[in-house]
Amino acid sequence: MASHAADSNGDIDIKSRGQQSPLASRRAMNNVGTKRFDGLFPLGYKEALGQWWASIPAAQAEHKVLSFIPYLQQPPTQLITNSAPPSASPSAASLERLHLEQASHVARTSSVEDPYGPRKWHSRLVPLSGKNRALNEFSVERVGEAADQNLVILHGYGAGLGFFYKNFEGLSRARGWQLYALDLLGMGRSSRPPFKLKSTKREEQISEAEDWFIDSLEEWRIQKKIDRFTLLGHSMGGYMAVAYALKYPGRLNKLILASPVGIPEDPYAVNAAMPEPGSSTLANEITQDQDETATATNGSIPESAKTAPRADNNNFLNARTKAEKAAAKDKDSASTDSTTAPPPRKPLGKWFTYLWDANISPFSLVRWSGPLGPRLVSGWTSRRFSHLPPDEAQALHNYSYSLFRLRGSGEYALAYILAPGAFARSPLIRRIHGVGRQYISGIEANDNNPVAGSPSEPQSSSTNAEIKRRENGVPIVLMYGENDWMDVAGGYAAKEKIDQEKRRVLKDASEEERRRDNGDSKVIIIKKAGHHVYLDGWEEFNEVMRDEMEDVRRREERGR
């Protein structure tokens, strides 16, 4: 472990500031007994003031988190300490400038005593076209090996690539793979240009908000000269991964969605002004305790799936049967007397609706609260990271706060994509079956990219100026925690939609076309994990991911 390297590179000594881990503070308060408000926000006022005063830069906070990656000689994040006096209270704009200055250099390091290496670890800011547009990138390169596969990781709403610190080492063990983790534009340590929409129509605003993120990902891909890659997206990153696959077909070998947001369809999110959050909402991300994550039961997951061996657990051979039963149940419910049907959910309070419409994000409240900001953030971090060692939990708390207090940008897209709960305004359940079935042009078909036309639809004439071809399917993996607050039923429904589309496309296909089709789908459950499956159940998550990465290679060999 290289956790000591950060101290030698100018990292602020937390103990010297008299700060206490929010987890330790919380445990102490639980022993003494305090008011409910203090239990919700366990970081003390004095500690919060000290953290706000210290103003740990985002690069430095990320550096500390990455120091927990095994085998590193030193964390790769570029460190430039703040030269401003401690008494200065930096504005959002000055924090942004400092943040960009710190990330303007490329930093790299190697792993030592590495039984799975040698490996090189890179941290860089990749500039994009336009003003103040750049993506923060963390990558792992296996030395002495020709990488012919690429894995790209996208984080969730308001998070950053540092949250995957327990996955980078395990996933980069796969030979022949190059690993990239990106901060979405306007989030993490990526640049934060103003978020503005030109459209006034609802549907166009949704598309424009999605494009704001996925167009920058495509520009990054072109700069890196990556032809095809495997894409892993968590939560909001999963939503954007689907949007990317639909807009830019022919670029993915596999799509892995870890507890993706926005799959289920909810009439209140699509038609009504605002829905009332149910059990599967973003509110749970703030309020759910880690103890609940470890012991709660997701009613959508059958007991047989929780206790079965992983092969059965991952494949869910009875998914189609369950989906059919659920559809029949919905049909029966629709035909029952209205007096027995559950009452419709009521709209949210006007104050919540106003804040959502006005794009007043939780991070805005953190920025406005000044010295109370770290205390507010501790309400989430103390619950989310309570299962981790205190030093790691403290590092993640500092990292979260350092990101939350940066200038608002990509966070403002959320209101255009999601209703106040976790339901999408343009649900993925309506679109996900199109992943891997898009018509594409400008990509030549070959053994590694076997795109073909739909068996049920005529091919364009070869005399046309542009020949349209169709993707040959993309494997889609939907991954949930056993106690995920994101409803796994959405994953089952998505799987059924994807399988239905495959049956339709291959209805009149030849044996060769069926053999080449890659449009598979499956649902995987990570045991004893919540919404952050990659962190709660990181060991099993890494193992499952390596299996999926090996599957990509097997499919390529089969297609040759």
Q: Tell me the CATH number at 157.
A: 3.40.50.1820
pLDDT in tens, 270-329: 443 323 333 334 444 444 444 444 555 454 554 444 433 333 333 232 333 444 444 444
Report whether 434 contacts 246 (CB < 8 A). yes
What is the average pLDDT across 180-202? Answer: 92
Print the domain residue range for 153: 57-83+102-275+424-442+469-559
| Among 279, 327, 277, residue whose Cα is nearest residue 299 | 279
For residue 109, tell me if it sits in a domain.
yes
For residue 513, tell me if it sits in a domain.
yes
Average pLDDT, the chain: 74
For residue 404, tell me if it sits in a domain.
no
Number of domains in the chain: 1
Which residues are catalytic, by number?
Answer: 235, 484, 531
State residue 367's pLDDT score: 82
CB-based contacts of 121-125 (< 8 A; 24+ apart in sequence) = 121/69, 121/72, 121/76, 121/168, 122/76, 123/66, 123/76, 123/77, 123/78, 125/100, 125/189, 125/190, 125/191
For residue 110, tell me if it sits in a domain.
yes
What is the average pLDDT across 65-75? Answer: 86
SS3 content of the chain, % helix, strand, coil (to 5): 45, 10, 45
3-state secondary structure at position 296: coil
Report whether 230 contacts 151 (CB < 8 A). yes
pLDDT in tens, 487-528: 899 999 999 999 999 999 999 999 998 999 999 999 999 999
Tokens of 217: 């990902």
State residue 82's pLDDT score: 32
Torsion sign across C-alpha atoms 226, 231, 236, 240? positive
End-to-end alpha-carbon separation of the chain, Å? 41
Higher pLDDT, 63 or 338: 63
CA distance 154 to 150: 13
For residue 500, tell me if it sits in a domain.
yes
| pLDDT(174) > 80 | yes
What kind and span of H or E run contains 414?
Answer: helix 414-417
Task: Kindly report the backbone phi and psi dihedral angles of residue 59, in degrees, each rounded to the nearest multiple of 5, phi listed first.
Answer: -65, -40
Task: Kindly report the backbone phi and psi dihedral angles of residue 243, in degrees, each rounded to the nearest multiple of 5, phi listed first.
Answer: -60, -40
CA distance 448 to 557: 9
CA angle 453, 454, 460 (to 5 degrees): 45
pLDDT in tens, 99-151: 444 444 456 677 778 888 889 999 999 999 999 899 999 999 998 888 999 99
For residue 428, tell me if it sits in a domain.
yes
Report whether 341 contacts 333 (CB < 8 A). yes
Tokens of 213: 């993120």
For residue 315, tell me if it sits in a domain.
no
Indicate the pLDDT class of residue 467, thresholds 50, 70 and 90.
low
pTM of structure: 0.76
What is the average pLDDT across 337-362? Answer: 49
What is the average pLDDT across 348-363? Answer: 56
For residue 226, tell me if it sits in a domain.
yes
